[in-house]
């Protein structure tokens, strides 16, 4: 008669299954592409995939919070661009130190997110509309501030050098140097990169951001309320939680991640490209959704989103290597997205 | 009993078109269970929502422990020690039981913004231990039955160490044992000096648990009486403002022998096990059993809302395939769901639109547009017949009181004019007056030759209304009784007949009654 309901084995919980699904899909893609092309698994190419994932991945981290919360953020792509432009404005035009520029970029993103949050909670504008408005606003502001031209970080090469350097590679060289000081990897690093050299520093920034995001989502109050509000806002409100404030915080956090993405993309391209950005939000949302985040709220995970971001960049990279025209790559990405959500629905039935 | 815990005076509250509370008065003593009764839409929930900080009254004052207080939001109410269990379940299905209970005040790690998940689960466990509840705090609420979810709500409200506990129809979805359990907890609280407000339409319940009763009618305070000194009849007449003449149960007319619906060996996983039954023309077939026995599951399977693993359905002797509710409606089957919010209503649409929703085709004019005057008159007719309390046909259903929402669903299926109607708990949360209206209606429908399956957890209702009673337990049909031989005891016996016992009673009873063993 002790009919205690046992918790299902944690591995078999639905959201984990979806993550396995996404992970399995990722592995399958990698296997297929590496069989189809020898170039695919070359360190340089892998480094390229990581680089491509970094920007979209950081955007997707923020978007994951908003979607689990039951909202949507369409503005992350252009907020990213605007943040990059502001960073360039501070560093190149106003000749401020690089760290100040970086801070300005992050702050710009966070402020845009804050504005989104206030529109949603105080002005009661639906998230779709509020962030769509922000998409246009930041797109326009980027062009206004930059006067329609890219701004280069020519006076501060260190910005790009640090971003595109590889701490991991340096570390590997130090270790190798201890055992074998005459190794060509140590003596001529440029001609003989170590296997980890293609992992650039900005990729590490992405992983660091992911770890922080996972911590916030899983271990903090903010994370708990993100799920609670996505699951049932009214019930959360009735429980005495200040829903408006937490929702604003979530949009601000998402903006902050977009700001970080802006700094990253600026450093990577060694410039702020004001015309870039639109379309990135869709990749970010796609990454979250492929990773099992539910657009109706209440479900999702950072690990899933990271996997989802890799699925998208591996797909793009692999198809490019196989010389599939770019327009077809887009078609395939769309198909994969629908397929992922379809499988998710089937599983839940 | 000393100073009152809460005094509400001259409370006024209006919604567009509705004067929901008119100079309302309410008083709660410590250590008292105070029942709040009234017809659907009388303003009970609204009054208590004012006390728990969800609505702000336009006039009046609230005195709490001798001091006048402002209660601008739910948080303020909680801090004063007032907590409320709402008429609709208010849980977050994606979160675990423990996370739900402590939402908004989770135990923190010594780093302030971090959660302490272990302390959370431990504290939830302690609350359960206090309530003698056997529940895993780490299980997701979505995976619990409605009754268990209700228990989680109660545990949550109690975990505040509330001094005032308001329960808005907490028993509507509970079985008798669970209600007993709840009452034991309430008794406990009473001895601890907690003031409990209990809103319910089950008047027998009030006798059992409450010390005093306050009656409301049309947003007005009518009177407060000691439960011991008031008869149920007197309370009812205060509620409706007239003495209703409780008709002796109409003995239903004998249905014809024509079988309109037959289910054969329906099976769906563990929920429905080899269920077969027949429904005759003009018959009211009662489905009895404990909550969770699988009655709703059978209804949903017949209606095509859930897929079945195996089994056959015959309508008027012809085998049919019902893969979706759309198929079911085509074959003349209507289903009135027990969970009105989730499945029964388009909450954002108005009363008129909801009433005609299931039978839209009937109202299409020559060029495919909707004949408004026809929809209006139909909606008007049912609103009147069912006494739906609404300021107009254009009121959003979301804004109706719980019981009135239920009536709108009823109107919807009556409009659809299907020949086979499945009513799942048709009178849950419905006041006495409207209840006898609904009984009357069901009888009329049966007399007109419609066939009705009525799922109900209230035994008196089953015994009063049905021609035949099918009893379910754990997904099986464990017995079938003609109304002449059915008694509460026999039904309960079948309703608790678990799998092992059944094996002894081979062959499995699919249609024949088990005998009086
Ligand atoms: N948010 C709202 N907007 C508009 N009208 C409302 C709202 N909430 C309640 N009402 C109206 O106020 C009146 C009182 O409703 P209330 O929910 O307090 O009734 P109740 O006594 O709890 O009834 P029930 O027994 O059916 O739950 C009803 O006429 C209802 O339609
Ligand atoms: Mg109510």
For residue B250, tell me if it sits in a domain.
Answer: no
Residue ranges of E strands in B316-426: 318-320, 333-336, 420-424
Scanning every residue of chain B, which has its alpha carbon at the shortest distance from the alpha carbon of A232?
Answer: B92
Work out the minimum CA distance from A299 to partner chain B, whole angstroms: 7
Name the closest-CA residue to atom 31, ligand 1. Answer: B400
Domain boundary among B240, B272, B297: B240
% of chain A exceeding 70 in pLDDT: 93
Nearest in space to B456 (alpha carbons), one of B484, B485, B486: B486
Q: Which ligand is nearest to the CA of B48?
A: 1
Asked if A7 lies within 8 A of B139 by C-beta distance, the reply is yes
Alpha helices of B11-80 — where are they, by DSSP H? 44-51, 74-80
On whether any CB of chain B is under 8 Å from the CB of A10, the answer is no
What DSSP string describes A80-108? HHHHHHHHHIIIIIS---HHHHHHHHHHH
Q: In a mutational test of the pocket of ligand 1, which residue from B45, B49, B406 has the highest number of ligand atoms less than 8 Å from its CB?
A: B45
Query: CA B439, CA B462: separation in Å to the nearest integer?
Result: 11
- Cβ neighbours for A63, distance < 8 A, ≥ 6 positions apart: A73, A76, A254, A257, A281, A284, A285, A287, A288, A305
Domain boundary among B371, B395, B416: B416
Beta bridge partners of residue B364, listed in sequence order:
B370
Burial of B356 (0-12, 13-18, 19+ CB in 10 A): buried
Please tell me whether residue B250 adopts helix, strand or coil conformation.
Answer: coil
Asked if B103 lies within 8 A of A3 by C-beta distance, the reply is no
**Does residue B31 sit in the same domain as residue B158?**
yes
Q: In a mutational test of the pocket of ligand 1, which residue from B15, B200, B206, B220 has the highest number of ligand atoms less than 8 Å from its CB?
A: B15
For residue B277, tell me if it sits in a domain.
Answer: yes
Query: CA A136, CA B55: separation in Å to the nearest integer?
Result: 38
**Does residue B184 sit in the same domain as residue B59?**
yes
What's the fold here for domain A39-165+200-348? ABC transporter involved in vitamin B12 uptake, BtuC (1.10.3470)
Report the pLDDT value the prediction gives residue B511, as an integer from 0 to 100: 41
For residue A241, the chain B residues in CB contact (below 8 A) are 103-104
Report the pLDDT value the prediction gives residue B178, as an integer from 0 to 100: 77
Mean pLDDT score, A163-175 = 89
Scanning every residue of chain B, which has its alpha carbon at the shortest distance from the alpha carbon of A9?
Answer: B139
* Angle, alpha carbons A169-A173-A175 (nearest 5°): 115
**Does residue B131 sit in the same domain as residue B212?**
yes
Return the exposure string of B308-338: e unless at least 16 CB atoms fall within 10 Å of the residue's CB, then b.
Answer: beebebebeeeebebeebeebbebbbbbbbb
Report the pLDDT value the prediction gives residue A7, as an integer from 0 to 100: 40
Report the pLDDT value the prediction gives residue B6, as an integer from 0 to 100: 95
- Residue scoring higher pLDDT (A84 or A326): A84
Distance (angstroms) between ligand 1 centre and the Cα of A7 equals 39
Asked if A5 lies within 8 A of B136 by C-beta distance, the reply is yes
Asked if B90 lies within 8 A of A231 by C-beta distance, the reply is no
On whether any CB of chain B is under 8 Å from the CB of A212, the answer is no
Nearest in space to B287 (alpha carbons), one of B485, B467, B506, B502: B467
CB A314 within 8 A of CB A66: no
Token output for A149:
């031209």
**Mutation site for A-interface testing, chosen from B103, B119, B292 by largest number of A Cβ within 10 Å:** B103
What DSSP string describes B104-167? TS--B-SSTTBB-HHHHHHHHHHHHHHHT----TTSBGGGS-HHHHHHHHHHHHHTTT-SEEEE
Query: CA A19, CA A21: separation in Å to the nearest integer?
Result: 5
**Does residue B380 sit in the same domain as residue B295?**
no
Asked if A6 lies within 8 A of B135 by C-beta distance, the reply is no
Pocket of ligand 1 from Cβ distances under 6 Å:
B 15, 18, 20, 38, 40-46, 87, 389, 399-404
CB B268 within 8 A of CB B448: no
Query: CA B52, CA B71: separation in Å to the nearest integer?
Result: 7
The CATH number given to whatever domain includes residue B272 is 3.40.50.300
On whether any CB of chain B is under 8 Å from the CB of A259, the answer is no
In angstroms and rounded to an integer, the radius of gyration of the C-alpha atoms of chain B is 24
Mean pLDDT score, A90-104 = 96
* Residue among B75, B114, B134 whose CB faces A4 most closely: B134
Mean pLDDT, chain A, integer: 90
Q: Which residues of chain B have a Cβ shorter than 8 Å from any chain A Cβ? A: 54, 73-75, 77-78, 86, 90-95, 99, 103-106, 108, 113-115, 134-136, 138-139, 143-144
**CATH 1.10.3470 placement within chain A:** 39-165+200-348
Report the pLDDT value the prediction gives residue A349, as an integer from 0 to 100: 55
- Report the run of H or E that residue B224 belongs to, with start and end: strand B220-226
Name the closest-CA residue to atom 28, ligand 1. Answer: B41
Scanning every residue of chain A, which has its alpha carbon at the shortest distance from the alpha carbon of B157?
Answer: A239
Distance (angstroms) between ligand 1 centre and the Cα of B183 equals 26
Lowest mean pLDDT among A209-223, A330-344, B449-463: A330-344
Distance (angstroms) between ligand 2 centre and the Cα of B284 equals 29
CB B137 within 8 A of CB B79: no
For residue B365, tell me if it sits in a domain.
Answer: yes
CB B306 within 8 A of CB B267: no
Scanning every residue of chain A, which has its alpha carbon at the shortest distance from the alpha carbon of B95?
Answer: A228
Q: Which residue reads 């849980």 in tokens? A: B91
Residue A96's pLDDT band (cuts 50, 70, 90): very high
Q: What is the DSSP letter of B399?
A: G
Work out the minimum CA distance from B104 to partner chain A, whole angstroms: 5
Residue A4's pLDDT band (cuts 50, 70, 90): very low
Name the closest-CA residue to atom 29, ligand 1. Answer: B41
Distance (angstroms) between ligand 1 centre and the Cα of B17 equals 12
Asked if B103 lies within 8 A of A239 by C-beta distance, the reply is yes
**Does residue B152 sit in the same domain as residue B264?**
no
Lowest mean pLDDT among A9-13, A51-55, B168-172, B397-401: A9-13
Asked if A227 lies within 8 A of B92 by C-beta distance, the reply is yes
**Mutation site for B-interface testing, chosen from A239, A295, A299, A300 by largest number of B Cβ within 10 Å:** A239
Scanning every residue of chain A, which has its alpha carbon at the shortest distance from the alpha carbon of B93?
Answer: A231
Distance (angstroms) between ligand 1 centre and the Cα of B48 equals 11
* Residue among A5, A227, A236 whose CB faces B139 most closely: A5
Q: Which atom of ligand 1 is nearest to the CA of B216?
A: 21
Q: Which ligand is nearest to the CA of B216?
A: 1
Mean pLDDT score, A325-341 = 86
Mean pLDDT score, A4-23 = 56
**Does residue B17 sit in the same domain as residue B107?**
yes
For residue A243, the chain B residues in CB contact (below 8 A) are none
Asked if B134 lies within 8 A of A7 by C-beta distance, the reply is no
For residue B362, tell me if it sits in a domain.
Answer: yes
- Report the run of H or E that residue A310 belongs to, with start and end: helix A302-321
**Does residue B152 sit in the same domain as residue B208?**
yes
Return averaged pLDDT per consecutive 10 residues of chain B, 517 residues in all. 87 89 94 92 93 94 94 91 86 94 88 89 90 87 82 86 89 76 87 92 86 93 92 84 52 73 92 93 90 87 90 93 87 80 74 83 75 88 86 89 82 83 85 80 86 89 90 90 86 74 41 38
Q: What pTM does this model have?
A: 0.78
Residue A223's pLDDT band (cuts 50, 70, 90): very high
Distance (angstroms) between ligand 2 centre and the Cα of B239 equals 14
Q: How many domains does chain B have?
A: 3
**Does residue B317 sit in the same domain as residue B455?**
yes
Query: CA B358, CA B477: separation in Å to the nearest integer?
Result: 30
Asked if A240 lies within 8 A of B73 by C-beta distance, the reply is yes
Q: Which ligand is nearest to the CA of B406?
A: 1
Report the pLDDT value the prediction gives residue A201, as an integer from 0 to 100: 95
Q: In a mutational test of the pocket of ligand 1, which residue from B22, B43, B396 has the highest number of ligand atoms less than 8 Å from its CB?
A: B43
- Residue scoring higher pLDDT (B462 or A64): A64
Nearest in space to B288 (alpha carbons), one of B473, B502, B511, B451: B473
For residue B338, tell me if it sits in a domain.
Answer: no
Report the pLDDT value the prediction gives residue B343, as an integer from 0 to 100: 63
In whole angstroms, how far apart are CA B130 and each of B42, B105, B124, B133, B185? 35, 19, 10, 8, 9
Residue ranges of E strands in B269-371: 272-280, 284-289, 310-315, 318-320, 333-336
Q: In a mutational test of the pocket of ligand 1, which residue from B20, B35, B396 has the highest number of ligand atoms less than 8 Å from its CB?
A: B20
Name the closest-CA residue to atom 25, ligand 1. Answer: B40
**Does residue B407 sit in the same domain as residue B506?**
no
Domain encompassing residue B318: 259-332+419-516
CB B434 within 8 A of CB B407: yes
**Does residue B425 sit in the same domain as residue B405?**
no
Query: CA A62, CA A257: separation in Å to the nearest integer?
Result: 5
């Amino acid at each position: 008669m002790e009919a205690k309901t046992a918790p299902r084995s944690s591995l078999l919980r639905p959201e984990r299954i979806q993550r396995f699904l996404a992970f399995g899909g990722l592995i399958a893609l990698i296997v297929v592409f590496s069989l189809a092309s020898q170039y695919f698994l070359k360190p340089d190419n892998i480094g390229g995939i990581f680089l491509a994932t970094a920007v979209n991945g950081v955007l997707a981290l923020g978007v994951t919070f908003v979607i689990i919360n039951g909202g949507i953020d369409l503005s992350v792509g252009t907020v990213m661009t605007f943040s990059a432009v502001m960073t360039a404005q501070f560093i190149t035009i106003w000749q401020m130190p690089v760290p100040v520029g970086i801070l300005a970029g992050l702050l710009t993103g966070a402020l845009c997110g804050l504005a989104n949050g206030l529109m949603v909670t105080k002005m009661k504008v639906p998230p779709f509309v509020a962030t769509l408005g922000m998409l246009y606003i930041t797109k326009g502001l980027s062009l206004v501030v930059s006067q329609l031209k890219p701004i280069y970080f020519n006076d501060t090469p260190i910005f790009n050098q640090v971003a595109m350097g590889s701490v991991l590679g340096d570390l590997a060289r130090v270790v190798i140097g201890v055992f074998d000081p005459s190794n060509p990897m140590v003596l001529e690093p440029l001609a003989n990169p170590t296997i980890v050299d293609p992992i650039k520093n900005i990729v590490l920034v992405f992983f660091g951001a992911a770890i922080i995001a996972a911590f916030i989502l899983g271990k903090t109050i903010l994370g708990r309320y993100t799920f609670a509000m996505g699951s049932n806002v009214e019930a959360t409100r009735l429980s005495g939680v200040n829903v408006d404030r937490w929702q604003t915080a979530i949009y601000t956090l998402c903006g902050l991640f977009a700001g970080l993405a802006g700094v990253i993309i600026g450093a990577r391209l060694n410039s702020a490209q004001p015309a870039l950005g639109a379309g990135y939000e869709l990749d970010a949302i796609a990454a979250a959704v492929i990773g099992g985040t539910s657009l109706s709220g209440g479900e999702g995970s950072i690990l899933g989103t990271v996997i989802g971001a890799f699925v998208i960049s591996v797909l793009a990279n692999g198809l490019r290597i196989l010389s599939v025209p770019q327009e077809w790559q887009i078609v395939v990405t769309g198909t994969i997205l629908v397929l992922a959500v379809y499988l998710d629905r089937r599983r839940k039935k | 009993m000393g100073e009152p815990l809460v005094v509400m005076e001259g409370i006024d509250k209006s919604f567009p078109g509705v004067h929901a509370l008119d100079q309302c008065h309410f008083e709660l003593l410590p250590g008292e269970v105070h029942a709040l009764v009234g017809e659907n839409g009388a303003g009970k929930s609204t009054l208590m929502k004012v006390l728990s900080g969800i609505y702000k009254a336009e006039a009046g004052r609230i005195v709490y422990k001798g001091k006048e207080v402002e209660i601008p939001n739910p948080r303020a109410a909680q801090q004063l020690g007032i907590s409320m269990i709402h008429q609709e379940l208010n849980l977050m299905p994606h979160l675990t039981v423990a996370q739900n209970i402590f939402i908004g005040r989770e135990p923190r790690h010594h780093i302030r913004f971090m959660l302490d998940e272990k302390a959370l689960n431990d504290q939830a466990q302690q609350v359960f231990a206090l309530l003698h509840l056997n529940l895993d705090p780490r299980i997701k609420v979505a995976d619990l039955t409605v009754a268990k979810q209700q228990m989680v709500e109660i545990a949550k409200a109690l975990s505040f160490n509330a001094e005032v506990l308001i329960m808005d129809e907490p028993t509507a979805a509970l079985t008798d044992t669970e209600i007993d359990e709840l009452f034991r907890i309430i008794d406990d609280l009473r001895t601890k000096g907690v003031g409990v407000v209990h809103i319910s339409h089950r008047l027998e319940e009030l006798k059992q648990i409450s010390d005093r009763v306050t009656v409301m009618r049309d947003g007005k305070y009518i009177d407060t009486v000691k439960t011991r000194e008031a008869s149920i009849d007197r309370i009812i007449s205060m509620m409706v403002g007239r003495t209703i003449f409780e008709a002796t149960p109409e003995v239903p007319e004998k249905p014809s022998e024509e079988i309109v619906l037959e289910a054969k060996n329906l099976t769906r996983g563990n929920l429905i096990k080899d269920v077969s039954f027949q429904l005759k023309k003009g018959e009211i077939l009662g489905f009895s059993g404990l909550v969770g026995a699988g009655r709703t599951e059978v209804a949903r399977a017949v209606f095509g809302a859930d897929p079945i693993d195996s089994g056959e359905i015959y309508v008027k002797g012809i085998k049919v395939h019902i893969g979706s509710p759309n198929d079911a409606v085509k074959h003349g089957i209507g289903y009135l769901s027990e969970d009105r919010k989730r499945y029964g209503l388009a909450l954002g649409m108005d009363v008129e639109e909801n009433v005609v929703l299931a039978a839209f085709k009937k109202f299409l004019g020559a060029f495919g547009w909707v004949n408004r005057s026809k929809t209006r008159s139909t909606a008007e007719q049912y609103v009147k017949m069912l006494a739906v309390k609404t300021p107009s046909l254009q009121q959003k259903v979301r804004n109706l009181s719980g019981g009135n929402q239920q009536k709108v669903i009823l109107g919807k299926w009556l409009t659809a004019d299907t020949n086979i109607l499945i009513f799942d708990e048709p009178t849950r949360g419905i006041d006495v007056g409207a209840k006898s209206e609904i009984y009357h209606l069901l009888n009329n429908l049966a007399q007109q030759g419609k066939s009705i399956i009525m799922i109900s957890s209230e035994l008196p209702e089953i015994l009063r209304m049905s021609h035949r009673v099918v009893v379910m337990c754990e997904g099986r049909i464990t017995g079938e009784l003609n109304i002449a031989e059915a008694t509460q005891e026999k039904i309960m016996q079948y309703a608790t007949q678990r799998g092992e016992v059944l094996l002894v009673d081979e062959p499995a009873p699919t249609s024949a009654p088990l005998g009086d063993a």
